[in-house]
Structure 1
């Protein structure tokens, strides 16, 4: 079975041409569209549906930086150990603790401005983390990239918590 990059005929690297991904996705989806198989056998319809589902899954994985990074690590045999390896760099952990305090204070004080500042800071950090991950992955350093991917997962989850806090305060 082809990997996601091969399915869309894209180079197997983190830096990806989103327009090319989009075009390749639509091309693959067009080939497997159910309308083309309206008069086909049930088996052919099932295969077409499986291809359409696989193309959708591959597209969703490749268009999302975190999912794409995880996928590249896994393709190269690097287990992210998301359940068993929770070790993080001390500076990263300190930053997390400071952000958590800021989030707690903002929620307690219903301070939208503080949440917006925290969200902006987080967005900038996520962007920087993705850039670091891209350099490592495209240099074939999957072990080091895996550590940063785990950190990015934490940042994503924290972003969700900020979103929940906005909803709570604004709700």
Structure 2
């Protein structure tokens, strides 16, 4: 069994191409393949060291899978691998147009909170914006290899994702 420190690169762990655009089925298949090799139940009869390594590898595989399966987390991971810090906690500057859009969405949410059809329409608009930003991240990472631009788009996506969750909560209520 491999040593967890050998797999600092999640893409290498799953033997998939390091890029933003992800084939979810390929990722799922690779994850299951790794789990079949490292799952702690398969090493229950091994030494304490083997059990520990098995548990570490299974944990690493779970973390890697969750990171790569989520587009925003995958993008942030790729940027980090390229030495780009998106400064999520310290850099709150955003383009004025983006901030205005966020304010407009929030105002609309407040106005239509009790109208399911209008909430669905707002959700469609937010999801379209999210998909557009994801495409921009894909181009920035996979085509242009502009990881700084990608990190800026990913920071914006975090705002959109958070608002999208609030909107889905309002729809559920």
Question: TM-score w.r.t. structure 2 length?
Answer: 0.92
Cα deviations across residues 44-96 of structure 1 (Å, max 9, x unaligned)? 11110110110011011111111100101111111111111111111111111
Aligned to 1:17: 23
1:134 and 2:138 correspond? yes
- CA distance in 2 between counterparts of 1:28 and 1:95 reads 43
In structure 2, the CA distance between the partners of 1:26 and 1:147, relative to structure 1 (3 Å rule), is same
What's 1:155 paired with? Answer: 160
Map 1:57-76 onto structure 2 (within 5 A): 57-76=63-82
Q: Does 1:80 align with 2:80?
A: no
Indicate the larger mover: 32-41 or 98-107: 32-41
Structure 1 residues 112-131: aligned runs within 5 Å: 112-131=116-135
Q: Which ranges of structure 1 fall in alignment gaps of 5 or more residues?
A: none
Alignment of 1:38-117 (within 5 A): 38-107=44-113, 110-117=114-121
RMSD of the alignment, in Å? 1.0
User: For the residues of structure 1 that align with 2:27 and 2:165, how far apart are their CA atoms?
Assistant: 27
How far has the Cα of 1:113 moved from its partner? 1.2
Q: Distance in 1 between matches of 2:150 and 2:44?
A: 45
1:17 deviates by: 2.0
In the TM superposition, residue 167 of structure 1 has moved relative to its aligned partner by 2.8
Tell me which stretches of 4 or more aligned residues in structure 1 moved more than 4 Å: none
Provide TM-score, normalisation by structure 1: 0.93
For 1:58 and 1:162, the matched residues in 2 are separated by 28
